[in-house]
Amino acid sequence: MTSYKTLGLVNTREMFAKAVSGGYAIPAYNFNNMEQLQAIIMACVETKSPVILQVSRGAWDYANINLLRNMAKGATEYAHELGYDIPICLHLDHGDSFETCKDCIDNGFSSVMIDGSSLPYDENVAVTRKVVEYAHKYDVTVEGELGVLAGIEDDVAAEVSHYTQPSEVIDFVSKTGVDSLAISIGTSHGANKFKPEQCTRNADGILIPPPLRFDILHEIEAKLPGFPIVLHGSSSVPQEYVKIINEHGGALKDSVGIPEEQLREAAKSAVCKINIDSDGRLAMTAAIRLYFDEHPEAFDPRKYLSPARAELKKMYMHKNINVLGSANRA
């Protein structure tokens, strides 16, 4: 058993309390390799932002849990070396079972998500309750989910979203004891969040997605005043990256994300954790494609990963400062 407290990590409790009262959101960035982690830590130290490092089940399979745990420990030391001890949480993203969550808690994670959103309601309550009972013994915080996002949630693919029903949230939170709740109000995972027929097109032919359901968010906030709410699927799919990718050999079609103004608005509410993964993938891929096109002779990974890491850092800094409002909150 490795306690996260020995790794220099923190759980989400204080982060979320401050974010809810301060009207901003904590960035939850996914990572599975060193360059992503360096970019996240450099950006969050430079903007003095707290951060949640997220590991998905897919990242665990890709990178190995021992390596990921020690990378997170290294991240706290790296932040210190860069000159500022920002609060860093290591979080399991979309935990698929009690066993996965327990493994992460036993391996130094300070926060876990149990995603029972595709289960019948009573089963979601039961598995979430079980995770909370185990996690709280070790002061690890737990995120539950109600409502289903369209797109891929790890291995769970949903064709259409099912919005969170505000009538269920009080019962779910009180029966499970979760510390935060992920809700479905129109975001979805990946770089193709909406079908073209769900969107309108502007004069430049860019797809404009349907607006988030702020009415549902406000109803949930009224039922759970001050309770931490989480938004998954919150990449904005910057069109400049899509353009670079497609102009340099890529083939992304109808890629569309959540407009930043809507995320900014959400961050001012009880939404205190905003999950961003796809935008990082796009930033890295755009930088690497561009580099290869301009340097066909390159074969040293450090050469093409350096601009990718720099682009990632720039993007995370922009999110912290201009979208989530988490800059200068550490």
**Which amino acid is present at 312?**
L
Q: Which does 234 bind (CB under 5 to 8 A by kind): Zn ion, ligand 13P, ligand G3H, none?
A: ligand 13P
Report which of 191, 189, 169, 188 is spatially closest to residue 180, judged by C-alpha positions.
169
Q: Which is nearer to ligand 13P, 93 or 311 (CB)?
A: 93
Segment (H or E) for 206: none
Segment (H or E) for 217: helix 214-223
Report which of 121, 135, 219 is spatially closest to residue 172, judged by C-alpha positions.
121
Q: Which is nearer to ligand 13P, 152 or 310 (CB)?
A: 152
Q: Which is nearer to Zn ion, 113 or 317 (CB)?
A: 113
Q: How far apart are the C-alpha atoms of 164 and 168, rounded to whole Å?
A: 8
Q: Are 272 and 20 in contact (CB under 8 A)?
A: yes
Q: Does 319 bind ligand 13P (CB under 6 A)?
A: no
Q: How far is the CB of 304 from ligand G3H (least distance, A)?
A: 21
Q: Which does 176 bind (CB under 5 to 8 A by kind): ligand 13P, Zn ion, ligand G3H, none?
A: none
Q: Does 145 bind ligand 13P (CB under 6 A)?
A: no
**Of 124, 278, 320, 326, which one interacts with ligand 13P (CB under 6 A)?**
278
Q: Does 161 bind ligand 13P (CB under 6 A)?
A: no
Q: Which does 116 bind (CB under 5 to 8 A by kind): ligand G3H, ligand 13P, Zn ion, none?
A: none
Site string for ligand 13P, 289-318 (x = CB under 6 A): ------------------------------
Q: Does 112 bind ligand 13P (CB under 6 A)?
A: no
Q: Are 30 and 55 in contact (CB under 8 A)?
A: yes
**Of 57, 129, 189, 329, which one interacts with ligand 13P (CB under 6 A)?**
189
Q: Which is nearer to ligand 13P, 82 or 199 (CB)?
A: 199
Q: Are 178 and 142 in contact (CB under 8 A)?
A: yes
Q: Which does 58 bind (CB under 5 to 8 A by kind): ligand 13P, Zn ion, ligand G3H, none?
A: ligand G3H
DSSP letter (8 states) at residue 196: G
Q: Which does 154 bind (CB under 5 to 8 A by kind): Zn ion, ligand 13P, ligand G3H, none?
A: ligand G3H
**Which amino acid is present at 127?**
V
Task: Locate all alpha helices (DSSP H) within 95-183, ordered by sequence.
Answer: 98-106, 121-137, 166-176
Which regions of 5-110 does DSSP assign to beta strands (E)?
26-30, 51-56, 88-95
DSSP letter (8 states) at residue 224: S
Q: How far apart are the C-alpha atoms of 36 and 327, rounded to whole Å?
A: 19
**Of 76, 100, 275, 326, which one interacts with ligand 13P (CB under 6 A)?**
275
Two structure tokens written together for 213: 């359901």
State whether residue 12 is helix, strand or coil. Answer: coil
Catalytic (active-site) positions = 93
Binding site for ligand G3H (CB under 6 A): 30, 56, 58-59, 93-94, 153-154, 189, 277
State whether residue 143 is helix, strand or coil. Answer: strand
Q: Which is nearer to ligand 13P, 176 or 275 (CB)?
A: 275
Q: Which is nearer to ligand G3H, 128 or 329 (CB)?
A: 128
Residues in the site for ligand 13P, rule: CB under 6 A?
30, 93-94, 189-190, 232-235, 275-279
